[in-house]
Amino acid sequence: MKENSSFKNKTFFWVLVFAAAVVICLCIYFLRPKERSDVALIYQDGELLYTIDLNKVTEDYEILLEREGSGNKVLVSKNSICMKDADCPDGVCVDHGELKDNSSPIVCLPNRVVIKFQTSGDEDVDVIAGKAQ
């Protein structure tokens, strides 16, 4: 009997610990910095492929990214960018919708594509991209 109550107490303790961890994580997530800018960057395999100023886009267009037989289709419009199509099985990047802020980049894990906003920390990267283009 006594052992059983201590078992219950310990279980209760761990439920509390995990619940607290969930609350803390949710707080961090919802209080994250929501910076955004006009310039979107598209990466694949950690390499910067495109630098797009979304403010200067006049007409919608699509970018096709191909990698080992599978592809992603990025839709670029004025002030918005989203993944229109992906042939990976889960399609998480398509469900993501348009790019909202810099701490929630669009990610396609199977094809290793990342779409994010350019922020102050990325200025070095931009110089290299300028040379490559």
Partner 1 sequence: MKTKKITICAILAALALIIFVLESLIPSLIPVPGIKLGLANVVTLFALYYLGPAYAALILVTRVVLGCLLTGQTAAFLYSLVGGALALLTAMLMKKIFKDSRKMWIVSVFSAAAHNLGQMAVALFLTGTWELIWYLPLLMVSGIITGALTGILAGLVFNRVKKAVNIEKNR
Rule CB under 8 A: choose which of 54, 65, 116, 118 binds partner 1.
116
Of 3 and 59, which has the nearer Cβ to partner 1?
Answer: 3
Pick left, alpha or beta for residue 46 (phi over 0 → left; psi -120 to 50 → alpha; otherwise beta): left
Residues 6+ positions from 124 with CB-CB distance below 8 Å:
none
Touching partner 1, residues 18-47 (CB under 8 A)? 18, 21-22, 25-26, 28-29, 32, 43, 45-46
Spatial distance between the Cα atoms of 95 and 74, rounded to a whole number of angstroms: 13
Rule CB under 8 A: choose which of 89, 124, 131, 132 binds partner 1.
89
Binding to partner 1 by residue 9, rule CB under 8 A?
A: no
Binding to partner 1 by residue 105, rule CB under 8 A?
A: yes
Of 63 and 114, which has the nearer Cβ to partner 1?
Answer: 114
Residues 6+ positions from 12 with CB-CB distance below 8 Å:
none
At residue 94, φ and ψ (nearest 5 deg) are: -70, -40
Evaluate whether 62 touches 84 at the Cβ level (below 8 Å): yes
Binding to partner 1 by residue 123, rule CB under 8 A?
A: no
Binding to partner 1 by residue 12, rule CB under 8 A?
A: no
Burial of 118 (0-12, 13-18, 19+ CB in 10 A): buried
Residues that bind partner 1 (CB under 8 A): 7, 10-11, 14, 18, 21-22, 25-26, 28-29, 32, 43, 45-46, 70, 88-93, 95-97, 102-105, 107-112, 114, 116
